[in-house]
Amino acid sequence: MYNGMILADAHCDSVLRALDGHDLTRKDPDCQIDLAKLRAGGVDLQFFALWTSPSTVPRRASERLCSLLAETSSLVLAGSGMVAPARSHADFEANLSESKTSVVLAIEGAHCLAPGEASIDLCHDIGVRIITLCWNNSNWLGTSAAQADTFAHGLTPLGRAAVRRMSELGIIVDVSHASERMFWDVAEVCDKPFIASHSCARALRDHPRNLDDEQIRAIAYANGVVGVNFCPAFLRSGPGASIDDVIAHIEYILALVGDNHVCFGSDFDGIRVGPEGLENVSKFPAIVDRLLERGHTEATVRKVAGENLLRVFREVCG
Ligand SMILES: [Zn+2]
């Protein structure tokens, strides 16, 4: 918590750093998130993405996924005084009452899963509460935004079934990295709030990973949320991104759809450097301060800082 506000982040790749030999239970200057920085930043809810390279052969991808799961478990175990897993809102509340950061398991890119609904059930069983449908590669669920013709291909039939199953079970559907067609297919098929965990506003920075106004409105209509990505290349063209660029994207979404549909999606440890003033997760409170300084009400800032993401987590995951 910071200033009495819950702080939450919809996306980071930090567990991958652990697999590369970094010890996130200790302060590590090479990592944008470790347990010390999470606590210093006052973060109450952190989504941790498990990502495997699409170039690994399928069997190795599942092995790597298991290693990432094991790393997350040992991190939670070793840091049990500071962090605890959250599979539901009740878990979050219990963790908050003990001043612990809730760790939510995410999978980024379904290419590490065997095609079929059984994989979605398995994910739910092991505690995964959000799936980013694809990464920069297309997979059995559908087509990535990195594909040449982003309007041509969307969800596959298996993808449609998987999205429905995620809704039934209580797994958040994440459309960051999805092609435009896949985005709109999800908007049609998904009957729960869905999110873009780490994307920015295309009106401010024209990049295939960012969302245009219609997409942001569709997420708002579904009562979902957009996690503003801190990746400098998504925030602005050219060098020199700073915290003010993150503020600009937040304010753009606030002006477009009101204050219930924007949150943080840092992408820490998936980006090489953060914007100036937001170098790592310990700097989250600076966004709160800056928004308040700029005249946003405490109620609005409270929502952006954490309550919006928490609302979706509660509504979808129970
Ligand atoms: Zn990503």
CATH for 222: 3.20.20.140
- CA of 293 from ligand 1 middle (Å) equals 30
The residue segments making up the domain with residue 86 are 7-317
- CA of 132 from ligand 1 middle (Å) equals 8
Place of tokens 């470790």: 34
Residue 1 within a domain:
no
The rounded distance, in Å, linking the Cα atoms of 63 and 69 is 10
Burial class of 212 by CB neighbour count within 10 A (0 to 12, 13 to 18, 19+):
middle
Angle at which helices 180-189 and 157-169 cross, to 10°: 50
> In Å, what is the CA distance from 318 to each residue of 111, 165, 168, 221?
26, 15, 11, 20
The rounded distance, in Å, linking the Cα atoms of 178 and 136 is 8
- CA of 232 from ligand 1 middle (Å) equals 14
- CA of 188 from ligand 1 middle (Å) equals 23
pLDDT of residue 178: 97
- CA of 295 from ligand 1 middle (Å) equals 31
Quote the number of domains for the chain. Answer: 1
- CA of 270 from ligand 1 middle (Å) equals 7
Q: How far apart are the first and last CA of the chain?
A: 22
Q: In the numeric block, which tokens belong to residue 226?
A: 């957009």
Residue 209 within a domain:
yes
pLDDT of residue 42: 98
Q: Which residue spans within the chain are E strands per DSSP?
A: 7-9, 43-51, 83-85, 101-108, 128-132, 172-174, 195-196, 225-228, 262-264
- CA of 144 from ligand 1 middle (Å) equals 11
Place of tokens 């753009």: 252
Residue 57 within a domain:
yes
Residue 2 within a domain:
no
The rounded distance, in Å, linking the Cα atoms of 64 and 99 is 31
Residue 67 within a domain:
yes
Question: How confident is the prediction along the chain (318 residues), in pLDDT tens digits per residue?
Answer: 999 999 999 999 999 999 899 999 999 999 999 999 999 999 999 999 999 999 887 778 888 999 999 999 999 999 999 999 999 999 999 999 999 999 999 999 999 999 999 999 999 999 999 999 999 999 999 999 998 677 778 999 999 999 999 999 999 999 999 999 999 999 999 999 999 999 999 999 999 999 999 999 999 999 999 999 999 999 999 888 999 999 999 999 999 999 999 999 999 999 999 999 999 999 999 999 999 999 999 999 999 999 999 999 999 999
pLDDT of residue 62: 86
For Cα atoms 111, 113, 115, give the angle at the middle one, nearest 5 degrees: 90
The rounded distance, in Å, linking the Cα atoms of 57 and 240 is 38
- CA of 135 from ligand 1 middle (Å) equals 6
Place of tokens 């998936």: 270
- CA of 112 from ligand 1 middle (Å) equals 14
What is the longest distance spanned by two Cα atoms in the chain?
A: 52
Q: What is the DSSP string of 146-191?
A: TSS-TTT--B-HHHHHHHHHHHHHT-EEE-TTB-HHHHHHHHHH--
For Cα atoms 54, 32, 129, give the angle at the middle one, nearest 5 degrees: 55
- CA of 4 from ligand 1 middle (Å) equals 30
